[in-house]
């Protein structure tokens, strides 16, 4: 798939959809994790549930990638803006952080100067 370059407005526009997908998968994975924690399963059932978690995570990342958004970690996505990334993590209400291509999550800083850079 061709690399998608996002404007800030485009990324913010699709973010509610990305958040809803992510929250849905987060809840489902959480339920399976809770079952694993609480349950005394036969070994094959335990493995089936662990496999289910992996499948859910692959499905979530696939849905996000189909939109042209990069998955950088668990519930962590990056929108390529041509100069670096707008970065969003589950639990954040809006698209508030960005970082360069080489900086990653640890290098995140608040997004500034949207208007002049991205119109």
Model confidence over 51-89: pLDDT tens digits? Answer: 999 999 999 999 999 999 999 999 999 999 999 999 999
Average pLDDT over residues 24-29: 98
For the chain, give every domain's residue range. 8-110
Enumerate residues 6+ apart whose C-beta is below 8 A from 36: 46, 49, 50, 53
pLDDT of res. 118: 44
The structure's pTM equals: 0.86
């Amino acid at each position: 798939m061709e690399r998608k370059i996002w404007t800030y407005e485009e990324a913010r526009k699709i973010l509610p959809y990305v958040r809803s997908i992510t929250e849905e998968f987060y809840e489902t994975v959480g339920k399976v994790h809770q079952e694993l924690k609480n349950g005394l399963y036969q070994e094959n059932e335990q493995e089936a549930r662990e496999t289910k978690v992996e499948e859910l995570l692959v499905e979530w990342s696939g849905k996000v990638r189909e939109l042209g958004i990069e998955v950088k970690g668990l519930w962590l996505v990056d929108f390529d803006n041509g100069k670096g990334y707008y970065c969003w993590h589950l639990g954040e209400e809006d698209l508030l952080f960005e970082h360069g291509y080489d900086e990653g999550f640890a290098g995140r800083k608040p997004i500034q100067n949207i208007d002049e850079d991205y119109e």
